[in-house]
Amino acid sequence: MIAQLSGLIVSKTPEGAVIDVNGVGYYLSVPLTTFYNLPEPGERVLLQTYTYVREDALKLYGFISLEDKQVFQLLIKVSKVGPRLACNVLSKLSAAEIKQAIQSGNIAAISAVPGIGRKTAERLIMELQDKIGTLPTAGQTQIKPTTGYEEDAIAALVSLGYKQTDAQKIIRKISAEKGDLPLQGLIKEALKKLGTKN
């Protein structure tokens, strides 16, 4: 399963985006909350991804934050709510608004999403009310666009087994302290700091 992609934006529309990762173009369907936060074509982006696999389908969905992805994964676990409908929800409401609506039982807010009627809204609230509150807060999960070699360094650390959030924190801390470093320098400094924490 592809958990995230880091690369260059080739093209983007409100329905999806093409990301060039080392010469391979990946098409990802995205909700509007992600589309509005995508950089311009030619710029780098790091997207959290969900791979949807069925006998007759294989699709990638992209999200600008881990929180959006986690909410999406909860939504599609609800009966009769597929990826397309889950994207509609995230296009109409932010992850924080979805959480608040479900926790407060706000049927009107959820049923205002195109494709979701009152019964589906009630089912979403009933099935997710106890689960939605266990997700991390936005402050812990938001994936912000990075510059220079930061994304590649973060991806390298994740491939070595470090957690995404730890890799992001350490790389951004190093960039803030030492300015722009080459990729190898960033990774070397990060491994030093991460090593001292063990």
Among 42, 59, 41, residue whose Cα is nearest residue 50: 59
Does residue 161 sit in the same domain as residue 178?
yes
Residue at which a domain ends, from 64, 87, 108: 64
Does the pLDDT at position 63 exceed 60?
yes
| Rounded mean pLDDT, 81-99 | 92
State pLDDT tens for residues 20-37: 999 999 999 999 999 998
For residues 27 and 5, give the distance between their C-alpha atoms in angstroms, rounded to a whole number: 11
Residues 6+ apart with CB under 8 A from 130: none
User: Which CATH number belongs to the domain containing residue 170 in this structure?
Assistant: 1.10.8
Does residue 33 sit in the same domain as residue 51?
yes
Grade residue 135 by pLDDT with cuts at 50, 70 and 90. Answer: low
Per-residue pLDDT, 47: 93
The better pLDDT of the pair 150, 73 is held by: 73
Per-residue pLDDT, 1: 66
Does residue 51 sit in the same domain as residue 93?
no
Residues 6+ apart with CB under 8 A from 27: 16, 17, 18, 60
State pLDDT tens for residues 164-173: 778 878 887 8
Compute CA 114 distance to the chain's CA centroid, rounded to the nearest angstrom. 22
- Residue range(s) defining the domain that contains residue 126: 66-138
**Residue 145 resides in a domain:** no
Per-residue pLDDT, 137: 52
Does residue 190 sit in the same domain as residue 179?
yes
Note the pTM of the prediction, 2 decimals: 0.67
For residues 129 and 126, give the distance between their C-alpha atoms in angstroms, rounded to a whole number: 6
Residue at which a domain ends, from 64, 86, 113: 64
Per-residue pLDDT, 89: 94
Does the pLDDT at position 10 exceed 90?
yes
Does the pLDDT at position 140 exceed 70?
no
For residues 168 and 146, give the distance between their C-alpha atoms in angstroms, rounded to a whole number: 9
**Total domain count for the chain?**
3
Does residue 113 sit in the same domain as residue 158?
no
